Amino acid sequence: MLALAFGTLLLISSVLADPSISPSVQHEKRFHLPPGWAHVRRHELNSVLPLRFGLAQSNIHKLESFLNDVSHPESPNYGNHWSPAKVAETFAPSGESIRVVKDWLVGSGIDPGRLRLSPTKNWIKVNATVEEAERLLQTEYNVYSHDDTGTEHIACDAYHLPAHVSPHVELVTPSIHFDARLHKRGPAFSGPRERIGEPGVGLGPKFTGKISTLLTELENCDKQITPACLRALYGVLYTPLAANKNSYGIVEYTPQAFLQSDLDMFNKNFSKSLVGKSPKLVAIDGAVVQTNQTGFDFNGESNLDLQYGMNLVTSKQEVTLYQVGDLPQGASFNNLLDALDGSFCSFEGGDDPLNDGIYPDPLDGGFKGNPDCGIVKPANVISTSYGYNEPDLSPAYTARQCAEYAKLGLMGVTVLYSSGDNGVAGNGGLCQNPDGSQSRNGKIFNPGFPGGCPFITSVGATQVNPGAKVTDPEGACEQVIFSGGGWSNYFAIPEYQKTAVGRYLKDFPPPYPPSIWNSTGVSRAFPDLSANGANYVIAVAGEFGLVFGTSASSPVVGAILTLINDARLAIGKKPIGFINPTIYSPSFADGFHDIVMGGNRGCGTPGFNSTPGWDPVTGLGTPNFPKLLAKWLLLP
Ligand SMILES: *[C@@H]1O[C@H](CO)[C@@H](O)[C@H](O)[C@H]1NC(C)=O
Ligand SMILES: *[C@@H]1O[C@H](CO)[C@@H](O)[C@H](O)[C@H]1NC(C)=O
Ligand SMILES: *[C@@H]1O[C@H](CO)[C@@H](O)[C@H](O)[C@H]1NC(C)=O
Ligand SMILES: *[C@@H]1O[C@H](CO)[C@@H](O)[C@H](O)[C@H]1NC(C)=O
């Protein structure tokens, strides 16, 4: 560290002589080695590294204001969504960024003939020796090896850029990122972490067992939730009028898959007109709706999402299934986003093999094609019931992905994510430790991602309280699962929720020390709203059973918003797009059933409480469909 400080002083003194040199600033730093990796040796100084400088997106600091401009109900541009071309053009790196980075490299002794600009103008590349790279980035490259696979990887702990260059660079590779391809060894897939669609990773709805009798009367909604219960709870009586102009997308990650026989079994009892109907499949990156492995672990999530999503929008509205990832490798959110936005896949070098699928897939039986890139126009509403814990991912990775959700919002897409099922703890009941690691006995609240991204809509879970009627106020879900909620440690609070969250913090200050939650008041809080997540009847593997989770809440809210889009499209209006600035606006306050009972236990605490107004358990509350419909029909 001393040496670095000394280097900085030297650089400052040379600023006078050369205006292209400025004090250096730390650009990225990694705090931990990812699990499974060990240091082997210092890298050889004369080895060659394929250095790549990912250039900063133009106008990215204006993202929130651009998004507000088309999404805030009081904005004169409400609903004037952008074309994909306008999105691509607005955020492409500027000529200035290209020039500043090139000038710095050339000024540092790299011959201009060695530099290459990628065709999409997002990357500057140079083959540099380790010695050159260490000098440019004021760092040290080391070789690491993976315990399971023996794969070697080159990385550094932190790197620096001159202060005038840093704002023009998103990231440099190879650097702190452990983006190594781990190849299959032996029979079990020894991937870097469990795939997002893999059973047994603490995701997906919770199953409490088979049921032999369906209780279809509305007085039993505290024991079994059926589509009729949800229609009664939220006042959802609506027949689509503009289905051919509308779209609703539900996302599933391979190997999760629906079974047609289960959809038919469900629909025989709950919606005869849907019997024999399937969602419209969009298969991304060689995806298959696999049928070799069945049972709750493989079919629970997809069956739940599709049985309720398709039922609530009725047989008149087609539902699109975005099935993502091939069988051997699977995929993650970036792979879906690549398929939805062509400018995303070609930007900043794309996906991180630690978390995302990388195609062509070298694994046996893997998808050998190029990754799908901008292949479909995104649906108007997209619901996803999968998620990470925030510390599973680096801030840079989450920032890049979160910005992409804002771009979908600019294009008029509503993006919903379930908020998690472990209250203030993360997936698998994991909480954080003071050193940033996660464990079951951790004490620090563990927010989810993308729940903490301010540009998605996060959906929490409620319940019909035991013994209560369907007309009684619901409480936060406290059976089997607890609604994910709290404060992000990565993302700042967006403008739209400052008043609501500020009021909660003032009127109901949580009784916890700032060491276990982000009490700063300046970070993004979630969820945004909620819907029932307890006692859902689903058909799975040929039997009816009960499931619990925000996994259920998200597709239900998605269906309700799809019906609102239908009503707007039928009278020539635009889809509702990114809804957060609207739902937090004062005129929408009575569009929700405020939830004031129950908490979201976790990390050895009772969690936060549901209170009047917004709260970090159930957000603004559950949808009141007739009121929301009337309000959204009044907007331009
Ligand atoms: C770096 O070297 C590799 C291998 O020789 C070559 O394929 C690649 O084009 C080079 N890249 C640049 C930017 O010169
Ligand atoms: C489903 O509906 C049929 C006919 O309406 C009924 O006979 C059957 O018992 C129902 N299934 C269950 C599990 O209740
Ligand atoms: C099922 O398994 C067989 C044999 O392993 C494989 O060839 C096939 O691709 C699989 N199909 C699906 C849909 O999972
Ligand atoms: C709390 O959140 C803010 C904003 O996202 C962040 O800057 C800060 O580092 C977080 N605090 C902790 C202790 O992580």
> Residue 556: which CATH number?
3.40.50.200
Residues 505, 540 within the same domain: yes
Residues 543, 626 within the same domain: yes
- Pair type for strands 152-155 and 523-526: unpaired
Residues 407, 524 within the same domain: yes
Alpha-carbon span 352 to 113, nearest angstrom: 29
DSSP string over 217-264: SGGGTTT-B-HHHHHHHHT-----S-GGG--EEEEEETT----HHHHH
Interior angle at CA 609, CA 604 and CA 615, nearest 5: 125
Protein residue whose Cα sits closest to atom 3 of ligand 2: 269
132: left (phi over 0), alpha (psi -120 to 50) or beta: alpha
Probe residue for ligand 3, chosen from 254, 256, 290 as the CB with the greatest number of ligand atoms within 8 Å: 290
Task: Please indicate, yes or no, if residue 9 is contained in any of the structural domains.
Answer: yes
Q: Which pLDDT value is given to residue 10?
A: 35
487 neighbors 518 (Cβ within 8 angstroms):
yes
CB atoms under 10 Å from CB of 448, counted, come to 29
Protein residue whose Cα sits closest to atom 6 of ligand 2: 269
Task: Please indicate, yes or no, if residue 74 is contained in any of the structural domains.
Answer: no
Alpha-carbon span 74 to 57, nearest angstrom: 28
Residues 221, 274 within the same domain: yes
Decide: 292 in ligand 3 pocket, CB within 6 A. yes
Atom of ligand 1 nearest to the CA of 125: 13
> Among residues 376, 353, 458, which one has the least CA distance to residue 416?
458
Going by the DSSP 8-state scheme, the letter that residue 66 receives in this structure is H
Alpha-carbon span 636 to 572, nearest angstrom: 10
What 3-state class would DSSP assign to 174?
A: coil
Q: Which pLDDT value is given to residue 347?
A: 62
Ligand found nearest the CA of 538: 2
Residues 164, 241 within the same domain: no
Residues 138, 210 within the same domain: no
Q: Which pLDDT value is given to residue 189?
A: 31
Q: Which pLDDT value is given to residue 264?
A: 98
Protein residue whose Cα sits closest to atom 13 of ligand 3: 290
Interior angle at CA 184, CA 178 and CA 187, nearest 5: 145
Q: Is 13 exposed, middle or buried (0-12, 13-18, 19+ CB in 10 A)?
A: exposed
Ligand found nearest the CA of 275: 2
Q: How many domains does the chain have?
A: 2
C-alpha separations of 30 from 83, 85, 153, 178, 393 in Å: 37, 35, 15, 10, 11
Protein residue whose Cα sits closest to atom 8 of ligand 4: 489
Decide: 290 in ligand 3 pocket, CB within 6 A. yes
> Among residues 31, 28, 16, 43, which one has the least CA distance to residue 161?
28
On the question of a cis peptide bond just before residue 527, with omega within 30 degrees of 0, the verdict is yes
> Among residues 319, 304, 217, which one has the least CA distance to residue 536?
304
Atom of ligand 3 nearest to the CA of 365: 9
CB atoms under 10 Å from CB of 46, counted, come to 8
Task: Identify the helix (H) or strand (E) that includes residue 301.
Answer: helix 296-313
Q: Which residue has the tokens 């929720």?
A: 497
Decide: 40 in ligand 4 pocket, CB within 6 A. no
Probe residue for ligand 2, chosen from 214, 223, 272, 544 as the CB with the greatest number of ligand atoms within 8 Å: 214
Q: Which active-site residues does the annotation give?
A: 301, 305, 551
Atom of ligand 2 nearest to the CA of 214: 14
Residues 188, 137 within the same domain: no
CB atoms under 10 Å from CB of 187, counted, come to 6
Q: Is 595 among the annotated ligand-binding positions?
A: yes
What 3-state class would DSSP assign to 475?
A: strand
Residues 121, 225 within the same domain: no
533 phi and psi, to 5 degrees?
A: -140, 25
Give the residues of the chain that fall short of pLDDT 70: 1-21, 35, 179-194, 200-202, 346-354
Residues 39, 161 within the same domain: yes
Residues 250, 320 within the same domain: yes
Task: Please indicate, yes or no, if residue 77 is contained in any of the structural domains.
Answer: no
Decide: 269 in ligand 2 pocket, CB within 6 A. yes
Task: Please indicate, yes or no, if residue 505 is contained in any of the structural domains.
Answer: yes
Domain span including residue 464: 183-193+206-634
Decide: 294 in ligand 2 pocket, CB within 6 A. no
Alpha-carbon span 117 to 5, nearest angstrom: 32
Alpha-carbon span 402 to 139, nearest angstrom: 28
How is residue 481 written in tokens? 């699962």
How is residue 397 written in tokens? 């990775």
Decide: 214 in ligand 2 pocket, CB within 6 A. yes
Q: Could you give the dihedral angle defined by the CA atoms of residues 629, 630, 635 and 636, in that order, rounded to the nearest 10 degrees? A: 90
Query: How many angstroms is it from 539 CA to the middle of ligand 2?
Result: 12
Give the residues surrounding ligand 1 with Cβ less than 6 Å away.
50, 116, 125-127
Q: Which pLDDT value is given to residue 81?
A: 97
Query: How many angstroms is it from 252 CA to the middle of ligand 1?
Result: 38
> Among residues 498, 478, 408, which one has the least CA distance to residue 450?
408
User: End-to-end CA distance of the chain, in Å?
Assistant: 57
Task: Please indicate, yes or no, if residue 161 is contained in any of the structural domains.
Answer: yes
Q: Which pLDDT value is given to residue 122?
A: 82
Residues 367, 501 within the same domain: yes
Task: Please indicate, yes or no, if residue 315 is contained in any of the structural domains.
Answer: yes
82 neighbors 91 (Cβ within 8 angstroms):
no
62 neighbors 410 (Cβ within 8 angstroms):
no
Residues 123, 213 within the same domain: no
Sign, CA dihedral 291-295-296-298, equals negative
Q: Which pLDDT value is given to residue 9?
A: 34
447 neighbors 390 (Cβ within 8 angstroms):
yes
Protein residue whose Cα sits closest to atom 5 of ligand 1: 127
Ligand found nearest the CA of 50: 1
Alpha-carbon span 124 to 627, nearest angstrom: 52
